Chain A
Amino acid sequence: MIYLLSILLFAIGLYGVLVKRNLIKIIIGLSIMEYATFLFFALVGYKKEGVAPIISKGFEEVVFVDPLPQALVLTGIVIGLSTTALLVSIAVRIYEKYKTFDIRKIKKLKG
């Protein structure tokens, strides 16, 4: 059930990329899509009655949730950040050249 909701979030992000006409809204839709994937990935590692996977004094023998997806999601967030930064700077430069954010008017390459 939880997994279905995160796939629904992925579909919302994909809708944003496909349908919206403003460049910035496309970037936001892409970010939503990536974060939905990270949410799904982190939820995969849940074990019943598990606690956060940090070993400290006195917590030696409990059931931990799976720490591997959490490490991978951290790496993925960094990748998502750099992708978004690059997209935003390209969008700012496009505004400088074309004077608009509307993708229906940015059509110099055709054929």
Chain B
Amino acid sequence: MKGMTIIVKTIARLISGLILLFGIYIVLHGHLTPGGGFAGGVIIAGCFIFLFLAYGSEETKNEVSKWRASLCESFGLLLFWYLAMLGIFAGTQFFLNIINKGNPFHLFSAGIIPLCNIGIGIEVGGGLFAIFIILATLKMEEKK
């Protein structure tokens, strides 16, 4: 699919960093304010989709993007799996909150919950971007 005009491309370059920053803010403050892993992950995916839509599929490298998004997805899931299994590896219950819980209402508190949110954020961002690339660049077979 083709890209858009030069105005859209310039604005996309300027704004996409802010969108990514906002998404990371929502992921990191998941235990203090509403949001958390899934909502932040959707916004992170939105940043990449915005860039993809503005520049069109002929200028971006599709195969590499698809592989990298899939890798992000698997990595986020494995991080979440590792955090859940920390309980069993340390000898106690599954999914137990075993990292030091600091003072409430601070950024670095509540045990494994912020780390789980980071894992989910990476996973959802990668997953939604991969779905978008595959659906947008599907090549229709021309049968005569």
Contacts and interface: CB of A to CB of B under 8 A. Distances in A.
A78 interface: yes
Interface string B112-144: 000000000000000000010011001011000
Interface in B7-37: 32-34
Interface string A73-103: 0100110000001001100100010000000
A57 interface: yes
B135 A89 contact: yes
B135 A56 contact: no
Contacts of B105: 56-57
A54 B138 contact: no
Contact of B33 (A54, A57, A77, A85): A54
A96 B141 contact: yes
Interface residues of B, number: 12
Give the interface SS of chain A, mostly helix, strand, loop or mixed.
helix
Nearest to A57: B105
Contacts of A89: 134-135
A54 B141 CA distance: 52
A92 to B, nearest CB: 6
A88 B135 contact: yes
B52 interface: no
A57 B134 CA distance: 45
B34 A54 contact: yes
Contacts of A54: 33-34
Nearest 7 pairs between A and B by C-beta? Answer: A85-B131, A96-B140, A57-B105, A78-B38, A92-B138, A96-B141, A89-B135
Interface of A: 52, 54-57, 74, 77-78, 85, 88-89, 92, 96
